[in-house]
Structure 1
Amino acid sequence: QNMSDAMAILHKLQTGLDVNVKFTGVRVFEYTPECIVFDLLDIPLYHGWLVDPQVADIVKAVGNCSYNQLVEKIISCKQSENSELVSEGFVAEQFLNNTATQLTYHGLCELTSAVQEGELCVFFRNNHFSTMTKYKGQLYLLVTDQGFLTEEKVVWESLHNVDGDGNFCDSEFHLRPPSDPETVYRGQQDQIDQDYLMALSLQQEQQNQEINWEQIPEGISDLELAKKLQEEEDRRASQYYQEQEQAAAQVQVRKHSGCICHGAGFISHIIFPTQQVQGAASPASARQSGSNERKRKEPREKEREKEKNSCVLL
């Protein structure tokens, strides 16, 4: 049964898994079908969003809630007429706001203690999954940001604080600062934008074209199922790139368009090249002598080439 459940949610790996943390332990998550994949493949899953047990009011307000349950509790407490519940809701909301990085120092300490030396695991933070390991007592995350595509020697980033400004290392965990920090920063910003757009695109595509996994025959072989998954992935990738090409084409069209401004409105308008306008010339002008045409032919052709991609702004 676990194998069937795991196979049924494999397609979600393209768009993300529903993982709901609890704030009491680095390996404590609300059980969802998506967690079966990690259990079945024996992949340790960690997070570091923990409540400090020494802060009693936050411990009381958060309790054993998962993230989703805590959000519901905050909404409920705000609507309550009980002042104690209102206070608890406020404390819980402050905790979420103050730990928006989804990593606390208590959680970082617990992570460092829980992860084994040399262990390869998955770290969940800010709705992203990262490969994590431990080397000589220090936690490291695998660098996957787009800004580091040209940084061949940058492989790992240390996880030693909650602010996300770790040190970069090579595959042997030797310090390797980026050669061009500004390029890396721009690349990271581009990665954030692309991740967001890709997530929206895949989410919409998943809603419109969801595979009916319940209709897959129970006796299907692993090879046949793998082929089905690959075909679906190829189809989605092809459709995504087609949409990107269409969007790029629309941008190019807009670049070659002018605007007619009238009042508060803007009307998109394309002015055609003069060679199309001249096609409507009067018969009299067409009867001009051949010599005059030859004299004007060369400058007129240059003028046409110049105007082919031009627009007139009225």
Structure 2
Amino acid sequence: MVTDTIEDTRVFFSIKHISWSEYGFHTPILLQDANGPCPLIALVNTLLLKYEFDIQQQQESVKLAGINDLRKHLLRLETKIYLDDLLSRLGDLIVNIAETSPDCEGDAAKLLDLLPQLHTGLSVNPNLITGKFPKDDLSTVLFTSLFELNFEHGWVLDEDVTVIRELEFFDKIQDFLLTNEEEVQTKEWLDANKTQVTNAGLEKLSDSLDFNNFAIYFRNNHFNTLFKSGSGDLFLLMTDSSLKSSKNIIWQSLTTVSGKDDIFYTGDFFPILDEDLQEIENQRGEVDDSDMILVKQLQEEEDQRMAEEMHKKYQNIHTKATKKLEAQDKKSELISKSKKQQTKDSDKKKKSSCIIT
């Protein structure tokens, strides 16, 4: 008897288990294929690595406590995690944060709807003066306000360009150039810095991060995990899926604008020698094209369903919490009235006692 095999076309992310730092942390991370910017990968990887470090330093955040459940889940899965599974678990994290932090409730509801978009991209508006992003952007709310992560870029003005200094934000600068085509100086600076990083930006980036700290790093419409080591050096986590089988190539230094002098490092931050770099070229040539195509098949209807379910879940929890608070307030009000009545009755008895005497 012949049976048809139904191919599983769901979107998934490959998992790589890395050992890193002088403490020998063992952490599962998500790898990136040829599927666009994917801030989702940067968010998850940064949370996982930061969690390991915070636990060692006994600095566990209440907001990040739930990340250990995701870490254990990835360790059990070993090789890959499906997008719907990942979004569901991140949704649970956001709901838990909303329950413990009332100030985040409004943001949490918006972000639950935003989650599916994290697979295909995320709109950002870098400030070319400060190296930051607008505080009210959903990207900033998600990374910084909700998950307490640094969100940085290195595309910072390094010379006197009046328009950029006055407008600051990239979106405003773009809008200005649409109606002011004669503005040559601004265009020349943008063209000269298409890599979206400058020496001034690297300096500001280093100054803004504490030692042994993590950030989500934005550059050229890509998001990555950045780490500032105890020595002050900056490293980017290598998440290219072509390096999945490589146990040695974990980090890449971030020291130059051009990237010419940036080198690869092992998990415990030892530089990889030139003779070992052939491993990178060999592995890059072994990427399975079919996997790339599979990852690109993002199912928008499935994502929308997931978003609606997570939003509904949040609304249910929020409604229950509200009813609970209302019930507690009503109970407190009844107790207060009862105490007042008891006080009145006691006063009456005292007055009556005085009259009899």
- TM-score if structure 1 supplies the norm length? 0.57
Give the match for residue 278 of structure 1: none
21-30 or 135-144, larger mean C-alpha shift: 21-30
SS at match of 1:69: helix
1:96 and 1:198, CA in 2 relative to 1: closer, same or farther beyond 3 A? farther
- How far apart are residue 49 of structure 1 and its match? 0.3
Give the match for residue 109 of structure 2: 4
42-51 or 140-149, larger mean C-alpha shift: 140-149
**5+ long unaligned stretches in structure 1:** 79-85, 223-314
Structure 2 residue 179 is the aligned partner of structure 1 residue 76: yes
Amino acid at match of 1:100: K
User: Which residues of 2 match residues 1-314 of structure 1 at below 5 A?
Assistant: 1-29=106-134, 31-38=136-143, 39-52=145-158, 55-56=159-160, 58-78=161-181, 86=182, 89-135=183-229, 136-165=231-260, 166-177=262-273, 181-182=277-278, 184-185=280-281, 201-202=297-298, 205-206=299-300, 211=304, 216-217=311-312, 219-221=315-317
How many residues matched?
206
1:100 and 1:37, CA in 2 relative to 1: closer, same or farther beyond 3 A? same
Alignment RMSD: 3.1
1:158 and 1:59, CA in 2 relative to 1: closer, same or farther beyond 3 A? farther
SS at match of 1:161: coil
Contact 1:5 1:36 in 2 (8 A): no
- How far apart are residue 149 of structure 1 and its match? 2.5
Percent identical pairs in the alignment equals 22
Amino acid at match of 1:129: F
**Higher relative contact order by CA 8 Å / sep ≥ 6: 1 or 2?**
2
Amino acid at match of 2:151: L
1:214 and 1:13, CA in 2 relative to 1: closer, same or farther beyond 3 A? same
Amino acid at match of 2:155: W
1:134 and 1:91, CA in 2 relative to 1: closer, same or farther beyond 3 A? same
- How far apart are residue 196 of structure 1 and its match? 9.2
**5+ long unaligned stretches in structure 2:** 1-105, 319-357
How big is each residue's C-alpha offset from its partner over 1:79-118, in whole Å with a ceiling of 9 and x where there is no partner? Answer: xxxxxxx2xx211111111111110000001111111100
1:196 and 1:123, CA in 2 relative to 1: closer, same or farther beyond 3 A? farther
How big is each residue's C-alpha offset from its partner over 1:159-203, in whole Å with a ceiling of 9 and x where there is no partner? Answer: 100112312111211112366535524755898x9999789754x
Structure 1: distance between partners of 2:285 and 2:217: 21
- How far apart are residue 46 of structure 1 and its match? 0.4
Structure 2: distance between partners of 1:70 and 1:198: 37
SS at match of 2:186: helix
Structure 1: distance between partners of 2:294 and 2:196: 22
1:108 and 1:114, CA in 2 relative to 1: closer, same or farther beyond 3 A? same
Structure 1: distance between partners of 2:217 and 2:190: 19
